[in-house]
Chain A
Amino acid sequence: MKALTSRLVQAVVVAVLIGTATFVMMRSLPGDAAWRIAAGRYGYDNVDAAAAEAVRSELGLDGPALPALLQWLGDLLTLDFGTSLVSGQPVMHEIAHQLGASAALAGIALLLSVLIGPPLGILAGLRPGGVLDRCLLVVSTGLKAVPQFLLALILIVLLAVQLRLLPAAGHGEARHFILPSLTLALGLAAVNARIARDAMARIADMPFWRFAEWKGLSRREVLMRHGLRNVSVPLLTYLGLQFVTLVEGVVVIEAIFGWPGIGHALVHAIFSRDVPMVQGTALVLGLGFVLVNTCIDLIVRRIDPRGETEARA
Chain B
Amino acid sequence: MSFLTATDITVRDGAQTLLEPLSLTVTPGEPLIILGETGSGKSLMAQAIMGTLPAGLRAQGEVRIGAHTLSASEPRRFRGLWGREISVLPQEPWLSLDPLMRAGTQVTEAHRLVRGLSAADAKARASSDLGQLGLTAAARHYPHQLSGGMAQRVAIAAARAGGAGIVIADEPTKGLDAARRDDVADLLLSEMGDNGGLLVITHDLALARRMGGQMIVLRQGKVVETGATETVMSAAREAYTRALLAADPESWTRRAPSRRDGPPVVDVHGLSVARGGRELFSGVGFDVAAGGVFGITGPSGCGKSTLGDAVLGLVAPAAGTVTRRADIGPHGFQKLYQDPVAAFPRKRRLGETLNDVARMTGESARVAPLLEQLGLSPTLLERRPGAVSGGELQRLSILRALLRRPALIFADEPTSRLDPITQARVIGMLGEIAMTEGTAILLVSHDAALVRNTADAVLPLGKTVLPEPQPDAASVATAPH
Residues in chain A within 8 A of chain B (CB atoms):
206-208, 210-218, 221, 225-226, 229-230, 233, 303-306, 309, 313
Q: In angstroms, how far is the closest chain B Cβ from the Cβ of A178?
A: 36
Q: Are B142 and A215 in contact (CB under 8 A)?
A: no
Q: Are A215 and B114 in contact (CB under 8 A)?
A: yes
Q: Are B99 and A216 in contact (CB under 8 A)?
A: no
Q: In angstroms, how far is the closest chain A Cβ from the Cβ of B186?
A: 22
Q: Are B101 and A211 in contact (CB under 8 A)?
A: no
Q: Which of A206, A217, A229 contacts B113 (CB 8 A)?
A: A217
CA distance A218 to B113 in the complex (A): 9
> How many B residues face the partner with a CB closer than 8 A?
34
Q: Are A230 and B98 in contact (CB under 8 A)?
A: yes
Q: Are A215 and B100 in contact (CB under 8 A)?
A: no
Knowing A217-B114, A305-B142, the reply to whether A313 touches B277 (Cβ < 8 A) is yes
CA distance A250 to B290 in the complex (A): 70
Q: In angstroms, how far is the closest chain A Cβ from the Cβ of B174?
A: 12
Q: Are A221 and B96 in contact (CB under 8 A)?
A: no
CA distance A207 to B84 in the complex (A): 20
Q: Are A207 and B110 in contact (CB under 8 A)?
A: no
Give the chain A neighbours of B100 by CB distance below 8 A.
229-230, 233, 303-305
The listed residue with most A CB atoms (<10 A of its CB), out of B50, B99, B164, B277, is B99
CA distance A221 to B109 in the complex (A): 10
Q: Is B462 an interface residue (CB 8 A)?
A: no
Q: Are B277 and A217 in contact (CB under 8 A)?
A: no
Q: Are B87 and A215 in contact (CB under 8 A)?
A: yes
Interface of A (DSSP majority class): helix
User: Whose C-beta in chain A lies nearest to the C-beta of B102?
Assistant: A305
Chain B contacts with A in 87-134, Cβ cutoff 8 A: 87-88, 90-92, 95-101, 109-110, 113-114
Query: Would you give 10 A-B contacts (Cβ < 8 Å), ordered by A?
Result: A206-B95, A210-B96, A211-B88, A211-B90, A215-B162, A217-B110, A217-B114, A225-B98, A304-B100, A309-B142
Chain B contacts with A in 231-283, Cβ cutoff 8 A: 276-278
Q: Is B450 an interface residue (CB 8 A)?
A: no
Knowing A215-B158, A229-B101, A313-B277, the reply to whether A207 touches B83 (Cβ < 8 A) is no
Q: Are A217 and B109 in contact (CB under 8 A)?
A: yes
Residues in chain B within 8 A of chain A (CB atoms):
50, 52, 79, 82-84, 87-88, 90-92, 95-101, 109-110, 113-114, 142, 144-145, 155, 158-159, 161-162, 164, 276-278
Q: Are A207 and B90 in contact (CB under 8 A)?
A: yes
Give the chain A neighbours of B91 by CB distance below 8 A.
207
Q: Are B277 and A214 in contact (CB under 8 A)?
A: no
Give the chain B neighbours of A216 by CB distance below 8 A.
82-84, 87, 110, 113-114, 162, 164
Q: In angstroms, how far is the closest chain A Cβ from the Cβ of B152?
A: 12
Q: Are B83 and A217 in contact (CB under 8 A)?
A: yes
Q: Are A211 and B84 in contact (CB under 8 A)?
A: no
Q: Which of B88, B101, B161 contacts A226 (CB 8 A)?
A: B101
Knowing A207-B92, A208-B96, A208-B99, the reply to whether A214 touches B82 (Cβ < 8 A) is yes
Q: Are B84 and A214 in contact (CB under 8 A)?
A: no
Give the chain A neighbours of B87 by CB distance below 8 A.
214-216
User: Whose C-beta in chain B lies nearest to the C-beta of A304?
Assistant: B100
Q: Are B88 and A214 in contact (CB under 8 A)?
A: yes
Q: Are A226 and B98 in contact (CB under 8 A)?
A: yes
- Number of contacts between A and B (CB, 8 Å)? 84
CA distance A218 to B110 in the complex (A): 11
Q: In angstroms, how far is the closest chain B Cβ from the Cβ of A263?
A: 37
Give the chain A neighbours of B90 by CB distance below 8 A.
207, 210-211, 214
Give the chain B neighbours of A303 by CB distance below 8 A.
100
User: Whose C-beta in chain B lies nearest to the C-beta of A230?
Assistant: B100
Give the chain B neighbours of A229 by CB distance below 8 A.
98, 100-101
CA distance A61 to B3 in the complex (A): 91
Give the chain B neighbours of A217 by CB distance below 8 A.
83, 109-110, 113-114
CA distance A59 to B377 in the complex (A): 86
CA distance A206 to B79 in the complex (A): 18
Q: Are A306 and B96 in contact (CB under 8 A)?
A: no
Give the chain B neighbours of A210 by CB distance below 8 A.
52, 90, 96
Give the chain A neighbours of B155 by CB distance below 8 A.
211
Give the chain A neighbours of B114 by CB distance below 8 A.
215-217
Give the chain B neighbours of A208 by CB distance below 8 A.
95-99
Give the chain A neighbours of B82 by CB distance below 8 A.
213-216
Give the chain B neighbours of A207 by CB distance below 8 A.
90-92, 95-96
Q: In angstroms, how far is the closest chain B Cβ from the Cβ of A66?
A: 46
Give the chain B neighbours of A215 by CB distance below 8 A.
82-83, 87, 109-110, 114, 158-159, 161-162
Give the chain A neighbours of B88 by CB distance below 8 A.
211, 214
CA distance A313 to B144 in the complex (A): 12
The listed residue with most B CB atoms (<10 A of its CB), out of A214, A226, A229, A309, is A214
CA distance A217 to B88 in the complex (A): 13
Q: Are B142 and A212 in contact (CB under 8 A)?
A: no
Q: Are A212 and B98 in contact (CB under 8 A)?
A: yes
Q: In angstroms, how far is the closest chain A Cβ from the Cβ of B82?
A: 5
CA distance A309 to B100 in the complex (A): 13
Q: Are B99 and A221 in contact (CB under 8 A)?
A: no
Q: Which of A211, A213, A221, A309 contacts B97 (CB 8 A)?
A: A211
Q: Are B142 and A306 in contact (CB under 8 A)?
A: yes
CA distance A215 to B129 in the complex (A): 15
Q: In angstroms, how far is the closest chain B Cβ from the Cβ of A122?
A: 16
CA distance A309 to B143 in the complex (A): 12
The 10 closest A-B CB pairs, nearest first, are A216-B83, A216-B114, A211-B96, A216-B162, A207-B95, A214-B88, A215-B110, A207-B96, A215-B83, A226-B98
CA distance A221 to B82 in the complex (A): 14
User: Whose C-beta in chain B lies nearest to the C-beta of A221?
Assistant: B113
CA distance A57 to B277 in the complex (A): 63
The listed residue with most B CB atoms (<10 A of its CB), out of A207, A230, A233, is A207
